[in-house]
């Protein structure tokens, strides 16, 4: 098995190193990841400049681009084969509910999925890297032992509580919850007296009820949400089709 690994925290992030180390126990691993932290990059592709790829070690490359760029370049020219699996992460901090739209971690996995390769985004809920090796151990368990039920290709969004392995309660298949509106932007002034704005923190869970990713992680379970890419709102589409026929 050959696994392509990327992330959005940058190629030196402890979460990526732990994930690569874990996956190397069962596969040949290649890392293609951004040169710096690109969290929140979503699915952006760099179209206004060429991308440079640098070799950082055996089977480790970093790119001066986004997470989607990294997987895109790997799939379409850098690698002379298609990997069997793309894994992204392990992100520092959760990617649940609406976070998935902004997440570069999820985007890197989505890019693999768009090329027809099964792909998994891993995030560790609660920042800090205290139990990152435990999260990586669970990621290995998931990849090795828990994917038999799925049709291929699949796209999974996995959130792992920041707990020691023995304290993880188990695994739950979940749907995405929803967040409240984000907190307001934080206004300040730069040293030249001009106004600046920091994007504020995301909102708390609004739909964090039973069955959601928020709920599972809150209870100490690893949350696994199968994702799809089609954004079509079928109910609204049917209304318009009826109205406009």
| From candidates 68, 88, 91, 110, binder to Mn ion by CB under 5 A | 91
Q: Does 9 bind Mn ion (CB under 5 A)?
A: yes
Element (H, E) at 80: none
132-135 long-range contacts, Cβ below 8 Å, gap at least 24?
Answer: 132/14, 132/15, 132/18, 132/90, 133/18, 134/163, 134/164, 134/165, 134/168, 135/15, 135/18, 135/90, 135/160, 135/162
Of 8 and 99, nearer to Mn ion (C-beta) is 8
- Binding Mn ion (rule: CB under 5 A), the pick from 8, 69, 98, 99 is 8
Segment lying near Mn ion (by CB under 5 A), choices 6-14, 74-82, 133-141, 207-215: 6-14
Q: How far apart are CA 35 and CA 67, in angstroms?
A: 10
For position 99 contacting Mn ion by CB under 5 A, the verdict is no
Q: Could you tell me which of 238, 14, 209 has the C-alpha nearest to residue 124?
A: 14
* Minimum gap (Å) between residue 195 Cβ and Mn ion: 27
- Cα torsion through 4, 74, 35, 107, rounded to 10: -70
What is the rounded CA–CA span in Å between residue 94 and residue 240? 36
Task: From 18-26, 89-97, 140-148, 203-211, give the range in contact with Mn ion by CB under 5 A.
Answer: 89-97
- Is residue 100 near Mn ion by the rule CB under 5 A? no
Of the two residues 24 and 37, which places its CB atom closer to Mn ion in the complex? 37
Residue nearer to Mn ion on the CB measure, 66 or 223: 66
Using DSSP bridges, classify how beta strands 171-173 and 222-226 pair: parallel, antiparallel or unpaired: parallel
Site string for Mn ion, 30-69 (x = CB under 5 A): ---------x------------------------------
Q: Which is nearer to Mn ion, 200 or 211 (CB)?
A: 200
**CB closer to Mn ion, 27 vs 104:** 104
Least distance to Mn ion from the beta carbon of 233, Å? 28
Q: Is 108 left (phi over 0), alpha (psi -120 to 50) or beta?
A: alpha
DSSP E strands in 13-154: the ranges are 28-34, 53-57, 60-63, 85-92, 119-124
Task: Pick the piece of the chain touching Mn ion (CB under 5 A) from 90-98, 128-136, 199-207, 217-225.
Answer: 90-98
Q: How far is the CB of 19 from Mn ion (least distance, A)?
A: 13
Query: Where does this chain bind Mn ion (CB under 5 A)?
Result: 8-9, 39, 91
């Amino acid at each position: 098995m050959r696994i392509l690994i990327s992330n959005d925290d940058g190629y030196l992030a402890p979460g990526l190193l732990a994930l690569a180390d874990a996956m190397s126990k069962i596969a040949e691993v290649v890392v293609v990841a951004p040169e710096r932290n690109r969290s929140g990059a979503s699915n952006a592709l760099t179209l206004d400049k060429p991308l440079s790829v640098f070799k950082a070690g055996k089977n480790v490359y970093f790119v001066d681009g986004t997470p989607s760029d990294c997987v895109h370049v790997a799939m379409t020219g850098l690698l002379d084969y298609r990997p069997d699996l793309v894994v992204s992460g392990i992100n520092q901090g959760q990617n649940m509910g609406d976070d998935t739209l902004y997440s570069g971690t999820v985007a890197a996995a989505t890019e693999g999925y768009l090329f027809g390769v099964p792909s998994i985004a891993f995030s560790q809920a609660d920042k800090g890297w205290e139990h990152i090796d435990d999260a990586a151990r669970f990621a290995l368990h998931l990849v090795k032992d828990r994917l038999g039920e799925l049709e291929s290709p699949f796209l999974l969004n996995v959130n792992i509580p920041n707990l020691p392995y023995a304290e993880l309660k188990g695994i739950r298949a979940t749907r995405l919850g929803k967040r409240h509106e984000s907190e307001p932007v934080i206004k300040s002034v730069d040293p030249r007296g001009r106004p600046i704005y920091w994007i504020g923190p995301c909102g708390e869970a609004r739909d964090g009820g039973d069955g959601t990713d928020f709920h599972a992680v809150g209870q100490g379970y690893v949350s696994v949400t199968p994702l799809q890419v089609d954004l079509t709102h079928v109910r609204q589409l049917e209304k318009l089709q009826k109205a406009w026929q």
